Amino acid sequence: MRRYNGRSQILVTGGAGFLGSHLCERLLGEGHEVLCVDNFFTGARRNIEHLLDHPRFDLMRHDVTVPLVVEVDEIYNLACPASPVHYQHNPVQTIKTSVHGAINVLGLAQRVNARVFQASTSEVYGDPDTHPQPESYWGRVNPVGPRSCYDEGKRCAETLFMDYHRQYGVDVRVARIFNTYGPRMHPNDGRVVSNFIVQALRGEDITIYGAGEQTRSFCYVDDLIEGFVRFMAQEGPLPGPINLGNPREFTILQLAEQVINLTNSSSRIVFKPLPQDDPKQRRPDIRLAEQHLGWEPQVQLHEGLMRTIAWFDEMLSAAH
């Protein structure tokens, strides 16, 4: 089929975001035509500026809550604010983006017979009482808390993807993304890696919520994008969900100490109260990805942090 041999026309919603811009770059590198759609709520033109003159790259300013009429072979649906600071800023729009956006991209995929990828999240597991989290775990989510606009929006999007798959035969791929970091992260998105690096580079106090004993697993962006591409290329009855993330677990305090060391910073660590519904543990069980995609992360935290720190250092220097 034309879709999976040689050049495909690929739509990336949220393509000017952190993950989306890296995905656009990867797909262009593989010879595909890429249509990047973004409303620039959290995405940034600077993330895709270097691609604007590429002959196989198009940019469309558009909100996925409004239906989109284009002809494409594949769709990656990455449109949604993904950090608590951003998704809690306008919670109604966040849940609309997840739910209406899913309906719109699925309707498009059904019409043009395109394979469609949903960027879901480890947040569907909530504050888990099962550790690590396998795809079979249904989660422990507060449906009315401050994070629920994102958590429940993404859970509903997964439901829609699976129902379009079962009811209409739409060819779907659902990936649950765990903490990812790397160049082009938003400097003010409130996530621990970007927070700690920016604070350390500026010599400011590094803020830890709680005692810093809560754990996270950090996947470098290049590894994650490799997982996306492998999942989309996979033939056969495997719609997902599949966990994509790094199973190596670190406490938040360990991360802060490593960032201070790598930046040679004079920053002090200060502790503040834990936010509501903040998960105590987050680590993926990636056996499905290993078995079906032959995928596992390759970039160690030390190496990934060095690359990310270098990017933030250059960006902060350019801003002055």
Query: Which pLDDT tens digit goes with each residue over 175-202?
Result: 999 999 999 998 887 789 999 999 999 9
Helix (H) or strand (E) holding 100: helix 91-112
* Count of beta carbons in the 10 Å neighbourhood of residue 300: 12
Architecture of domain 2-185+219-247+280-299: 3-Layer(aba) Sandwich (3.40)
Nearest partner of 271 among 210, 214, 216, judged by Cα: 210
Q: What is the mean pLDDT of the chain?
A: 92
- Residue spans of beta strands (DSSP E) within the chain: 9-13, 33-38, 57-61, 74-77, 115-121, 172-177, 180-181, 206-209, 215-217, 219-220, 242-244, 249-251, 269-272
Position 4 pLDDT exceeds 70: no
> Binning pLDDT at 50, 70 and 90, where does residue 2 land?
very low
Model confidence pLDDT, tens digit, residues 201-239: 999 999 998 889 988 899 999 999 999 999 999 987 789
The strand pairing partners of 175, in sequence order, are: 119, 242
What amino acid positions are annotated as catalytic residues? Answer: 150
Domain edges within the chain: 2-185+219-247+280-299
Q: How many CB atoms lie within 10 A of CB 107?
A: 15
pLDDT of 88 reads 72
pLDDT tens across 17-67, in order?
999 999 999 999 999 999 999 999 888 999 999 999 999 999 999 999 999
H/E segment holding residue 162:
helix 148-168
